[in-house]
Amino acid sequence: MTVFFDCRFIRPGHMDGITRYSEQVYGALSRIRPLTALISSHEQLRGLPPGSPFLLVNRPTSIRELTLARRLGRAGAEVVFSPMQTTSGLGRRYKLISTVHDLIYYRRRKPPTFLPWPVRIIWRMYHLSFWPQRVLLRQSDALVTVSQTTKLDIERARLWPAKKPLRIASPAFDSQVFEGSNGNPASANALKALVYAGSYLPYKGVETIVEALKELPDFELHLVTEASGEVQGRLRRIAGEAAPRVKFLGGLDDAKYAQVLRQAHSFVSASVDEGFGIPLIEAMACGTPVVCSDIPVFREVAGEAAEFFEPSSAKSLAEAVNRLSSERVFELRNEGLARSSQFSWDATARVVSSLIDELAAEA
């Protein structure tokens, strides 16, 4: 069976969830069955297994996307898996599986800044109503999502017909990188580190973490995602006198990021809206306590293996960090390690592979 995996949403050098999901699901799925990667840049091969077969095609935002299905048909495609919902299926003769990670941008409509301006305008209009999404998803034979929380959102919005397959294929973590037990700071007098990984979009709540730092004089905040000069300046202004304790570590590879996690006091996320929460389980897998906002999807992901605080409340966040006594830290390490072990990319790939077989049997 000829199966194509759309890897064109990979952004090399970035730690965003779509990139992680694409690379890791492709890697795990390729161990189960033969795959061909769809790429729009050879750079996207860096995160895939060496020697992965590929087909170089247009960017997802190109007008040539409208003719992609015909090209894949000529290439013999029988099933195409997309880690997004925007892979074109116009005129296709193969089975198409799409993915919806979340419905965040229907609630928070600021488009990602890496998109070209014309695409941002279309993107904004697209998210004004659910009907364009319904029309787009109608071209797919099956749908994958990443959490029960997002599945419920999809059902409430009536984005997907009940008669078609809808499966949950949750993200996981790289067990060869994010592993081990959290260590102690190098010195008893060292400032304790809070770690954040993720984008700086408004709903991520990074400003809330910076505000909380003012109430945590014994802590530093380590931001491991690349930040523009504008973002750095804005967060330092919010921090005020605590600005010297806001550390921008720049873009780290996974190995260095895992090391930062293992040396940290805790991982913190103040996001008010997510489809899943990969950074939470990566931190747990390293034995690092997680402190996160009390939102439904974080409850789903973390269970009882996190210290929760009231969303958007810097005061509540600071109180949650201060609740981490040595006994509570020990509990969270053990609970986090156990919780993270419930997630694996191999399990995610098995869900996708089973869905591929199900659709192929219908052909």
Whether the CB-CB separation of 268 and 194 falls below 8 Å is answered with: yes
C-alpha to C-alpha distances, 250 to 14, 90, 254, nearest whole angstrom: 11, 40, 12
Task: Report the first-to-last Cα separation within the chain, whole angstroms.
Answer: 12
pLDDT value, residue 186: 38
Nearest to 271, CA basis, from 305, 302, 304, 309: 309
C-alpha to C-alpha distances, 326 to 119, 267, 287, nearest whole angstrom: 49, 16, 14
Average pLDDT of span 329-337:
94
Q: What is the signed CA dihedral for 230, 232, 236, 239, rounded to 10 degrees?
A: 110
Q: What is the distance between the alpha carbons of residues 116 and 202, in angstroms, rounded to a whole number?
A: 20
C-alpha to C-alpha distances, 255 to 258, 310, 346, nearest whole angstrom: 5, 31, 20
pTM for the model: 0.89
The CATH H-level superfamily of 3-172+344-362 is Glycogen Phosphorylase B; (3.40.50.2000)
Average pLDDT of span 137-165:
96
pLDDT value, residue 110: 76
pLDDT tens for each residue of 208-262: 999 999 999 999 999 998 899 999 999 999 999 999 999 999 878 899 999 999 9
Which amino acid does the sequence have at 344?
Answer: S
C-alpha to C-alpha distances, 181 to 249, 281, 286, 344, nearest whole angstrom: 22, 13, 5, 18
Whether the CB-CB separation of 60 and 9 falls below 8 Å is answered with: yes
Whether the CB-CB separation of 282 and 258 falls below 8 Å is answered with: yes
C-alpha to C-alpha distances, 173 to 98, 183, 185, 310, nearest whole angstrom: 21, 20, 24, 26
Residues 6+ apart with CB under 8 A from 202: 108, 110
Residues 6+ apart with CB under 8 A from 302: 277, 280, 284, 290, 292, 339
Residues 6+ apart with CB under 8 A from 273: 102, 104, 107, 108, 203, 295
Average pLDDT of span 325-340:
93
Could you tell me the fold of the domain covering 192-340?
Rossmann fold (3.40.50)
pLDDT value, residue 109: 76
pLDDT tens for each residue of 4-44: 999 999 998 777 789 999 999 999 999 999 999 999 999 99
pLDDT tens for each residue of 341-357: 999 999 999 999 999 99
DSSP strand pairing (192-196 vs 142-145): unpaired
Which amino acid does the sequence have at 21?
Answer: Y
Whether the CB-CB separation of 150 and 128 falls below 8 Å is answered with: no
pLDDT value, residue 182: 53
248-271 burial string, b = 16+ CB within 10 Å, else e?
ebeebeeeebbebbbbbbbbbbbb
pLDDT tens for each residue of 283-321: 999 999 999 999 999 999 999 999 999 999 999 999 999
Distance of CA 47 to the CA centre of its chain: 15
Whether the CB-CB separation of 213 and 266 falls below 8 Å is answered with: no
pLDDT value, residue 236: 97
pLDDT value, residue 189: 44
Residue 192 has pLDDT above 70, yes or no: yes
CATH 3.40.50.2000 spans which residues of the chain? 3-172+344-362, 192-340
Q: What angle do CA 299, 181, 281 make, to 5 degrees?
A: 25
Q: To the nearest whole percent, how much of the chain has pLDDT over 90?
A: 80
Q: What is the distance between the alpha carbons of residues 9 and 23, in angstroms, rounded to a whole number?
A: 10
pLDDT tens for each residue of 75-119: 999 999 999 999 998 899 999 999 999 999 888 877 777 778 888
Q: What is the distance between the alpha carbons of residues 290 and 265, in angstroms, rounded to a whole number?
A: 9
